[in-house]
Structure 1
Amino acid sequence: MVSIEPATAPARVSDTHAFYRAAWRWHFYAGLYVIPFFAILALTGMVMLWIAFLGGRDGERIPVVPQQAVLAVSVQADAAIAAVHDGMLVQYIAPRAADRVAVFRVDVDDAATMVAVDPYTARVVQTWPRRSGWYDLADNIHAELLLGVTGDRMLEIAASLGMVLIATGLYMWWPRGGGWRRALVPSLRGGRSAWKSLHGSIGLWLSVVLVFFLLSGLSWSGVWGEKLVQAWSQFPTEKWDSVPLSDKTHASMNHGPKEVPWALEQTPMPASGSTAGTPAAAAAPDIDSIDTLARQIGFDGRYQMNLPRGADGVWTLSRDSMNNDSLSPMADRTTHIDRFTGNILADVHFADYSLAGRAMAVGVALHMGMLGLWSVLANTLVCLCVLALCLTSVVMWWKRRAGSGLRLAAPPLPRDMPLWQGAVVVGLAVSLAFPMAGLTLLAILALDTFVIQRLVPLKRVLS
């Protein structure tokens, strides 16, 4: 929410005016970094929303003709394995409905192939490389800009600075005499003030929703999410009484994009090979008996089955809204079964998550628009509003810098900043809450103080 006040500051200004100009300056600098990333996130987010809703992400919406009886999962699996030379079965995804295919993941070395099979005839309907569609390209851009860890950190900085944008924008646009109607309803009478009014009103309406989206996105990030929030909120393995644990966490089940529920990612996986757990399936269960067990204990409709890996690996049954298995995050469930005894070693439901875990299960489903058409439409509106904020901010800057030549035309720094100690405290609070934003703000402050303000040519270009 960039203002369009005049570019020159008086020698002395009121306290309120000084704070306004300081907020405007930080808003401007944060926006320089944030705008391109927010535009990318909004565009890729809309692409993912509609691809997932209309066509599905992993072929689960491919239709078949229902017949009298479904073949055993093992028969379907044999057909899938035969379609991939020297392949090893890794995962089974049950059909979403009676007229949809079953999907199997078959790996050869490091290459994963998805195989869609007609559950009534075991006919292979289609095969494709895993994570190779348009949805996956948009997802990879949305998550890490196709740059791996570097992209993750860049987006985390953008999301963290987005909190600075919201705070400073709200301070600048908060009604101080014109009333709430003027703040909430844009005035489109033309000129720069119309763009400012439109930008401010959209930002005010969107602020709470945008905070939610930023926080739910940040919770997946590598620093704020994994190191600070998630590390203190994962599912406690103490709830699995006397169950042996492997040296792998649930995150090892991720392959590229996040697939494991946020609350479980850093929790160790159970290990097969003991007498622990609750008797459930026959000893040394096969894929058919595990599927039968899944149906008996409540995994109806679409669910995912991951086969054991390694000597002490477990069978894992899962259903969560993040992976589009169901429309309700409160139906999330993950069950681990000993590959030797058939005992249930762990059975984690939504109610077992910590408060933060439950909030993230719901938050991720809302963030990804996985709760049905209404959430797809609502998220599309949010994405369009974010793009509108980006566009109007650029237009306002362009109109304000008219006649500035090559100058950036940044908002001027107030000459007299009252109560600067309060600003320092706010800055420290932001730095502690969002480390990447804090480091970036400190870097910008140091650059502004020790470089830009001392080099007159550079100061003129960037001011």
Structure 2
Amino acid sequence: MNASAHRRGFYRSVWRWHFYAGLLVMPLLLVLALTGAVYLFHDEIEDTAHASLRFAPQRSAELPLSRLIAAARAAYPGEVTRIDVPADPRRTAQVFVTPQRGEPLRVFVDPGSARVHGAFVYTHTLVGFADTVHGSLMLGRVGDALVELAACWALLLIATGAYLWWPRGRDWRAALWPDWHARGRGFWRSLHASVGAWTAALIVFLILTGLPWAGVWGDLLRAGLQPLGLGYPAEHRHHAAAAPRVGQAVSDAPWTLRDAPLPTSHAHHHHGNSAGARDIGIDAVARTLAARGLRADYRLSLPRGSDGVYTAVVYPDRPQGQRTVHVDRYTGAVAGDTGFADYGLGAKAVELGVQLHMGRYFGRANQVVMLLPCIGIVVLSLSGAWMWWRRRPRGRLGAPPAPAPARLRTVAAIALGCGLLFPLLGASLLLVYALDRLLIARVPRWAAFVH
């Protein structure tokens, strides 16, 4: 085979993989882009949709947290698991209540008067629905794996798209701008290519900064950072291996500390046995936190189990202000106090990327910049789907023609290389290759697609 024929064969292979990647992940990418765009503006949306819940008359003094919890529990009976203390004097506190029946509630209470403004189920709101769908498609661990798989295949989609787009001697201006004079598929192809060229880098950034929250890749990344001293601080590692993790007991814990061992409360130190021990109460915990400089703008999770601890999390827009403080429920002693400065270099990079990903780090400009790749994904998905629909033969899948069959050794090497970085991608590459060679190539017509 001469060099020219080899290049043509390689080009057709890349085109075919680009086609399959788009076909597999386009619906999921659309969902992720739309829900991500909603979540970028979550505060603005919730302030508009739930203003009567989220805002209270400006106050000069605040009631003890126990009063706010008692008011929330009186209006909505159930177990209180967390309270979010606002820094803004115009905002209500949020009390998280799990009723005996029904879904968990977020109850909004005026910190100055303890008046309950109302409650909602987070997942029943627009922002809550978008948040849950964006992370797991509302399918739990299975949905989380599907989202991770779509993100990994999107990286392959971008890599193959960049190869197909590369001008190769053509005018660069024509490659970067749509051909507004073209008609039909020619216009859509130029639009697809130019939008991809302008948004690819931002889309890759969104994917790479979102993957740490994925189940498989995120867990592997945290596990890989720890032995290198790049994850959570070393002082957490003396806890027993069987100790519960911070992420299991604290909702919305920082990414870095999700797998860190959770400290425990020790009733026997001062009370002899846990049966006679008494919880110091949330107001004493609030005083302990205030002595440590935490007076507002933190999320305080209540203890779970007899040896659980109170955990306050400060999670500001800029990760440099992150802080997690654990307080012994019986003694009031601080069982752990970890800030951003204590994180390893890898964890710091991830936390910075997460805040940029969510559009929080530099205000409205950050939101707008992150909105651009979301719009790009929508345009790329719809234009790609339209081109496929128009070009496919009636009743057929319409995949680009296959070149000479690639050697299994080559495919295995590519899948292994991808699998080392993104395990789900490597495994799915082998699966798609097998389906392509063993099933799709043997079925001449896809009558089930369209008639």
TM-score interval w.r.t. the shorter chain?
A: 0.7 to 0.9
Any residues of structure 2 matched to 1:244-323 within 5 Å, and which? Answer: 247-253=243-249, 259-273=252-266, 285-320=280-315
CA distance in 1, matches of 2:11, 2:237: 57
Q: Partner of 1:180 in structure 2?
A: 172
Any residues of structure 2 matched to 1:53-202 within 5 Å, and which? Answer: 53-55=44-46, 62-85=54-77, 87-109=78-100, 111-191=103-183, 192-202=185-195
Higher helix share: 2
Q: Partner of 1:323 in structure 2?
A: none
| SS of the residue 1:55 aligns to | helix
CA distance in 2, matches of 1:229, 1:40: 25
Whether the 8 Å CA contact 1:35–1:390 is kept in 2: the answer is: yes
Whether the 8 Å CA contact 2:324–2:339 is kept in 1: the answer is: yes
CA distance in 2, matches of 1:275, 1:240: 22
| Equivalent of residue 355 in structure 1, options 324, 337, 345 | 345
Q: Partner of 1:47 in structure 2?
A: 38
Whether the 8 Å CA contact 1:233–1:263 is kept in 2: the answer is: no
Whether the 8 Å CA contact 2:395–2:445 is kept in 1: the answer is: no
Q: Partner of 2:322 in structure 1?
A: 332
Whether the 8 Å CA contact 2:303–2:310 is kept in 1: the answer is: yes
CA distance in 2, matches of 1:444, 1:411: 15
- For residues 209-233 of structure 1, the C-alpha deviation after alignment (integer angstroms, 9 at most, x for no partner) is 111211222222222222x212223
Q: Partner of 2:213 in structure 1?
A: 220
CA distance in 1, matches of 2:255, 2:131: 17
Amino acid at match of 1:415: A
State, as a whole percentage, how many aligned pairs show the same letter: 36
Q: CA deviation at 1:354?
A: 2.4
- For residues 389-422 of structure 1, the C-alpha deviation after alignment (integer angstroms, 9 at most, x for no partner) is 0011112223323xx22122211112387x9976
| SS of the residue 1:69 aligns to | coil
- With normalisation by structure 2, the TM-score equals 0.87
Whether the 8 Å CA contact 1:246–1:271 is kept in 2: the answer is: no
Q: Partner of 1:30 in structure 2?
A: 21
Amino acid at match of 1:334: T
Amino acid at match of 2:42: I
CA distance in 1, matches of 2:342, 2:52: 29
Asked whether 1:406 is paired with 2:395, we answer yes
CA RMSD of aligned residues (A): 3.1
Whether the 8 Å CA contact 1:59–1:116 is kept in 2: the answer is: no
- For residues 332-359 of structure 1, the C-alpha deviation after alignment (integer angstroms, 9 at most, x for no partner) is 1111111222221211111222233212
Whether the 8 Å CA contact 2:397–2:446 is kept in 1: the answer is: no
- For residues 404-453 of structure 1, the C-alpha deviation after alignment (integer angstroms, 9 at most, x for no partner) is 22122211112387x99766533321132222222222112112212233
- For residues 62-108 of structure 1, the C-alpha deviation after alignment (integer angstroms, 9 at most, x for no partner) is 222223422222222222222223x3332121123011112212333
Q: Partner of 1:280 in structure 2?
A: none
| SS of the residue 2:107 aligns to | strand
Q: Partner of 2:235 in structure 1?
A: 239
| Equivalent of residue 433 in structure 1, options 409, 421, 429 | 421
Whether the 8 Å CA contact 1:246–1:270 is kept in 2: the answer is: no
Counterparts in 2 of 1:231 and 1:60: CA distance versus 1, 3 Å? farther
Q: CA deviation at 1:274?
A: 7.2
Amino acid at match of 2:196: G
Q: CA deviation at 1:49?
A: 2.3
| Equivalent of residue 364 in structure 1, options 343, 354, 358 | 354
| SS of the residue 1:22 aligns to | helix
Counterparts in 2 of 1:406 and 1:107: CA distance versus 1, 3 Å? closer
CA distance in 1, matches of 2:268, 2:195: 59
| SS of the residue 2:255 aligns to | coil
- For residues 25-76 of structure 1, the C-alpha deviation after alignment (integer angstroms, 9 at most, x for no partner) is 0000111111111111111112222333332599897222223422222222
Gaps of 5+ in 2: 270-277
- For residues 156-211 of structure 1, the C-alpha deviation after alignment (integer angstroms, 9 at most, x for no partner) is 22111111101111111122112433322332221323222221121122222111
Whether the 8 Å CA contact 1:30–1:165 is kept in 2: the answer is: yes
Q: CA deviation at 1:253?
A: 2.7
CA distance in 1, matches of 2:37, 2:198: 20
Q: CA deviation at 1:265?
A: 1.1
Q: Partner of 2:200 in structure 1?
A: 207
Whether the 8 Å CA contact 2:237–2:261 is kept in 1: the answer is: no
Counterparts in 2 of 1:46 and 1:105: CA distance versus 1, 3 Å? same
Amino acid at match of 2:341: A
Higher relative CO (Cα under 8 Å, sequence separation at least 6) belongs to: 1
Structure 1 window deviating more from structure 2 (18-27 vs 420-429): it is 420-429
Q: Partner of 1:7 in structure 2?
A: none
